[in-house]
Structure 1
Amino acid sequence: MPLVKQLSRIEALNGVIVSKETGPPVNIADKLQMSPSTVKKVIHEMKSMGAPIAYCRCTDSYVYVYKTQLNIGYKKVKGKR
């Protein structure tokens, strides 16, 4: 899968987790227009990147275990090239 598409999916999934609007994988899939299996794959990839994601059975939703921030992109640093 192209990197840009994968990053876009990660950002979208992060957005629904942060806004606490996930629900079960089938609901996320409907919101983000992807299959439930793709949702699960992206969550697995996010966890492998260090995302503190857990599934809360009380709310039937994915949540971040602690406050976190997703940063994808480039940052300007001081110094010469």
Structure 2
Amino acid sequence: MEFLQKIQVIERLDQLIKLKSTGTADDLSRRLNISKRSVYNILELMKRMGAPIKYNQTRQTYYYSYECNFVLGFLESKKL
């Protein structure tokens, strides 16, 4: 998977996690059109980047344990 494709998948996964409507890893693989292994790899990458991802077995969905935002891009130096 190319870098930009991976970023797009992360952004989509972030949206689904915020909505608490990811479903299982199998559901995600179908929804994101990637392998189940890729789902686990991206979830692990997001966790290493600091995402507080948890899984609720009762609701069968991934969620954030606290509110957060995924940000990737460039900001004007004056705004920092």
The answer to whether TM tops 0.5 is yes
How many residues are aligned here?
79
State how far apart, in whole Å, the 1-side matches of 2:22 and 2:3 are: 23
Return the TM-score normalized by structure 1: 0.88
State how far apart, in whole Å, the 1-side matches of 2:50 and 2:6 are: 16
The question of 1:47 aligning with 2:47 is answered yes
State how far apart, in whole Å, the 1-side matches of 2:2 and 2:60 are: 31
Q: 5+ unaligned residues in a row in structure 2: which ranges?
A: none
Q: 1:30-58: CA deviations, max 9, x gaps? A: 11111111111000000000000011112
Q: 5+ unaligned residues in a row in structure 1: which ranges?
A: none
Runs of 4+ off more than 4 Å: none
The one-letter code sitting in structure 2 at the alignment partner of 1:10 is I
State how far apart, in whole Å, the 2-side matches of 1:73 and 1:28 are: 25
Q: Name the structure 1 match of 2:67.
A: 67
Q: Name the Cα RMSD after superposition.
A: 1.4
Shift of 1:2: 2.6
Q: Name the structure 2 match of 1:28.
A: 28
The one-letter code sitting in structure 1 at the alignment partner of 2:33 is Q
> Which structure shows the higher helix fraction?
2
Structure showing greater radius of gyration is 1
